[in-house]
């Protein structure tokens, strides 16, 4: 493994070992993500920049063998968006290039315990420049949609999650439902 990436993963593991609380974890990993973005980025290989005209592309960089961490490069062509979703995990996101937009949703009734009768309301928007770092913690689950507006350049972002991110909930806001979606590596759906 590249030494910059090796150090990032080792330091993130140390944070996870030291802190049980998700907020403490993202607080302490956010500066590590900043440092990773400030590095020579030698860990980013051509494979990590693959895009897909059908949907945003999810390229795995590192999946830890104990399942505690996974790091992906996501490549967003203009006009590509996620569905409204959560992660069931904490996460730290850093922007390599382009402008990533995040639209938040709030669960009106607090923590979501079932797959139906979910009332969501639109929250704020955040625009993330190259070098920006953002994070989220679950419970109640962080719900959002993320993407790149039409007419902008391709965006590449790094996403570190507190588990092997092989599934997540997507939400149908109008119907008030959610579904658990399996998420193969290298793919976005
Ligand atoms: Fe997300």
Domain of 178: which CATH number? 2.60.120.10
Into how many domains does the chain fold? 1
Give residue for tokens 């990590």.
48
Residue 149 Cα to ligand 1 middle (Å):
16
- Span from the CA of 69 to the centroid of ligand 1 (angstroms): 15
Task: Report, as an integer, the average pLDDT of 41-53.
Answer: 96
pTM of the model: 0.93
Q: Would you say residue 189 has pLDDT above 50?
A: no
Spatial contact of 148 and 101, defined as CB atoms under 8 Å apart: yes
Residue 188 lies in a domain: no
CA 41 to ligand 1 center in whole angstroms: 23
**pLDDT more than 70, % of the chain:** 95
Residue at 53 is within a domain? yes
For residue 103, the CA-to-ligand 1 centroid distance in Å is 10
Distance of CA 1 from the midpoint of ligand 1 (Å): 26
DSSP-based three-state secondary structure for 161: strand
Q: What is the pLDDT of residue 168?
A: 87
- Ligand 1: distance of its center to the CA of 87 in Å? 6
Tell me how far apart the alpha carbons of residues 142 and 134 are, in angstroms, rounded to a whole number: 12
84 CA → ligand 1 middle, Å: 8
Residues 11, 32: contact at Cβ < 8 Å?
yes
What is the extent of the structural domain holding 141? 3-182
Please determine, for residue 187, whether its predicted confidence score (pLDDT) is greater than 70: no
Q: Report d(CA 176, CA 171) in Å as an integer.
A: 7
The verdict on residue 114 lying in a domain is yes
pLDDT at residue 188, as a whole number: 39
Tell me the average pLDDT across 138-156: 92
Query: Mind listing the pLDDT tens digit for each residue in 108-141?
Result: 998 898 999 999 999 999 999 999 999 999 877 7
The beta-strand segments (E) located in the chain are: 57-63, 70-76, 91-97, 100-107, 120-128, 133-136, 143-147, 155-161, 167-172, 177-182
Q: Is residue 112 part of a domain?
A: yes
Domain annotation covers residue 44? yes
| pLDDT mean over 89-94 | 96
Q: What is the pLDDT of residues 7-45, one digit of tens each?
A: 999 999 999 999 999 999 999 999 999 999 999 999 999
**Does some domain include residue 189?**
no
Residue 82 Cα to ligand 1 midpoint, Å, equals 8
Q: Which pLDDT belongs to residue 84? A: 96
């Amino acid at each position: 493994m590249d030494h910059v990436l090796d150090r990032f993963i080792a330091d993130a593991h140390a944070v996870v070992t030291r802190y049980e609380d998700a907020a403490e974890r993202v607080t302490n990993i956010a500066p590590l993500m900043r440092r990773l973005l400030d590095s020579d980025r030698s860990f980013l290989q051509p494979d990590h920049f693959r895009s897909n005209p059908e949907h945003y592309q999810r390229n795995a960089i590192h999946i830890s063998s104990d399942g505690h961490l996974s790091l992906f490069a996501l490549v967003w062509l203009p006009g590509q968006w996620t569905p409204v979703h959560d992660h069931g995990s904490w996460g730290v996101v850093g922007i390599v290039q382009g402008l990533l937009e995040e639209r938040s949703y709030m669960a009106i009734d607090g923590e979501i315990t079932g797959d139906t009768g979910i009332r969501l309301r639109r929250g704020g928007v955040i625009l993330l420049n190259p070098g920006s770092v953002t994070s989220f913690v679950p419970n109640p689950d962080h719900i959002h949609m993320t993407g790149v507006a039409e007419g902008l350049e391709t965006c590449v972002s790094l996403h570190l999650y507190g588990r092997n991110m092989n599934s997540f909930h997507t939400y149908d806001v109008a119907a008030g439902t959610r579904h658990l979606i399996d998420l193969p590596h290298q793919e976005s759906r």
